[in-house]
Amino acid sequence: MTALGERIAALIASEGPISVAQFMTLALHDRESGYYATRDPLGAAGDFVTAPEVSQMFGELIGLWIAQTWIDQGKPDRPLLVELGPGRGTLMADALRALKLVPEFREALDVVLVEASPVLERAQEDLLRNSDVAIRSVASFDDVPRNRPLFLIANEFFDALPIRQFVQTERGWCERMVSVDADGALAFALSPVPLPAGQVPASRDGAPPGGVYEMSAGGESIVEEIAHGIARDGGAALIIDYGYDKPGFGETLQAVAGHRFAGVLEAPGTRDLSAHVDFAALGDAAMRGGASVCGPVEQGALLVALGIVERAEKLARRHSSGSRWTGHLSEAPMVRGQLDRLILPDQMGTLFKALAIVPKSASTPPGF
């Protein structure tokens, strides 16, 4: 067991079982030994790869999507571009480069990166230090300026937020907790007291025995706050993540290390923990915040609608030998592979989905 695991076990022995949400918070964000506090998880040498790391096309199209929503809303003054969980800063770097095509928007921007990982914050600073756009980092969305048009990007942010899990039993819905077994190892257990009936969402009626539902109160709270700001001051949010758009009863909590699935409770602090995003719950939260919701749509469909195939053809032409270019992406296998990874159903195209949040008075944004 890792040192962090031993501390978690000692906490449980002293105070009793903890929720899955509390375990995730400690495993991911403990200041001394948490996963995001101690490492760069991205890339071939890390544990997973995100869409911006696959291809520059992703960030470029997202940047231009944001600019189009700004134009469609009458080009409001003092726009604020915010990214939640910016990774190494790759998406933002690609977006800002593409936004040179819309200089009026780019020159008016202030950029805020919301990043809790000191390791990734340093990577963002290194990549974006020569940008001519005002950029600053904050540790929480609570620190983002208010009362300005908010244009927000969140790619693979909400899947990493802590969730609570509940299991349907003969006693009712019981919360899954993290405890220790007879050998002192971390283990799952169920709360002996079921959740009061009034706290169970109506959409969870009819669950089979052993059915699991997951909820991210933190994620829903952030989305409601984002939507409230957009409804009041204008702007748009684009949330892209892997997840589902209808309530279900499956368990999705997972751990990844070295691009392979691993045990959730094994070696806390050394594995990425995440869960599929409940887009229906996020959409409901956005509507509670007073905004309109578009989608979710599949990532592949969104990117195709935004012109990724045409962009890939232009990049392929650059990677070809010039005079031999006949217009087929097969002549540029690297670009073809990047395109396939982002849009094909058996890769990222279907599992990943996109949700847009806009003011009720705004037109439907591109791709939705």
Peptide bond into 296 cis (omega under 30): yes
CA distance 82 to 136: 10
Domain membership of residue 227 (yes or no) is no
Identify the pLDDT of residue 197.
Answer: 75
Placement of tokens 């005079």 in the chain:
323
How many angstroms separate the CA atoms of 4 and 68, rounded?
Answer: 46
Ramachandran region of residue 274, left (φ > 0), alpha (ψ -120 to 50) or beta?
A: beta
Residue in this structure with the two tokens 């208010």, named with its chain if needed: 146
Rounded to whole angstroms, the Cα distance separating 359 from 234 reads 6
In a domain, 335, yes or no: yes
Residue predicted with more confidence, 42 or 216:
216
Inter-CA distances, 235 with 78, 104, 203, Å: 11, 16, 30
Q: What is the residue type of 218?
A: G
Torsion angles phi and psi, residue 123, rounded to 5 = -65, -40
* Contact status, residue 59 vs residue 343, Cβ threshold 8 Å: no
Q: List, in order, residues 6 or more apart from 239 with CB less than 8 Å away.
A: 154, 157, 158, 223, 277, 279, 282, 354, 355, 356, 357
pLDDT tens digits along 2-11: 999 899 999 9
* Mean pLDDT calculated for residue range 298-306: 98
Give the residue among 152, 354, 178, 164 at the shortest CA–CA distance from 268.
Answer: 178
Give the whole-angstrom CA distance, residue 84 versus residue 87: 9
- In the chain, helix, strand, coil percent, each to 5? 40, 25, 35
**Extended beta strands in the chain, E state:** 18-19, 80-84, 110-114, 134-138, 150-155, 164-169, 172-180, 186-190, 212-215, 235-244, 254-257, 260-262, 272-274, 277-278, 292-298, 352-358
Contact status, residue 121 vs residue 129, Cβ threshold 8 Å:
no
Q: Are strands 18-19 and 172-180 parallel, antiparallel or unpaired?
A: antiparallel
CB of 161 closer than 8 Å to CB of 140: no
Average pLDDT over residues 145-160: 96
DSSP-derived pairing of the beta strands 254-257 and 272-274 = antiparallel
Contact 82, 66 (CB under 8 A): no
Examine the pLDDT at 47 and tell me if it is beyond 70.
no
Q: How would you classify residue 283: left for phi > 0, otherwise alpha for psi between -120 and 50, otherwise beta?
A: alpha
Q: Which two tokens stand for residue 73?
A: 């809303």
Q: Across residues 113-141, what is the average pLDDT?
A: 92
User: Which pLDDT value is given to residue 323?
Assistant: 47
Answer whether residue 311 is part of any domain. Answer: yes
Query: What is the mean predicted confidence (pLDDT) over 269-283?
Result: 93
Per-residue model confidence (pLDDT) at position 36 = 84
How many domains is the chain partitioned into structurally? Answer: 1
236 with 357: CB under 8 angstroms? yes
Mean local confidence (pLDDT), 89-113: 96
Q: Is residue 151 a part of any domain in this protein? A: no
323 in any annotated domain: yes
- pLDDT tens string 158-196: 999 999 999 999 988 999 999 999 888 999 999 998 888
Task: Look at residue 332 and tell me if it is in a domain.
Answer: yes
pLDDT of 13 strictly over 50: yes
Task: Report the C-alpha gap between 324 and 329 in whole angstroms.
Answer: 12
What local confidence, expressed as pLDDT, does residue 222 receive? 97
Asked whether residue 108 is domain-assigned, the answer is no
Beta carbons within 10 angstroms of residue 194's beta carbon = 19
Q: Check if the beta carbon of residue 13 is closer than 8 Å to that of residue 180.
A: yes
Name the residue range of residue 342's domain.
Answer: 306-353
Length of the chain: 368
d(CA 124, CA 137): 9
Average pLDDT over residues 259-273: 87
Question: How would DSSP label each residue in 288-349?
Answer: HTT-EEEEEEEHHHHHHHTTHHHHHHHHHHHHS-STT--S-GGG-HHHHHHHHHHH-TTTTT
327 has pLDDT over 80: no
Position 348 in a domain: yes
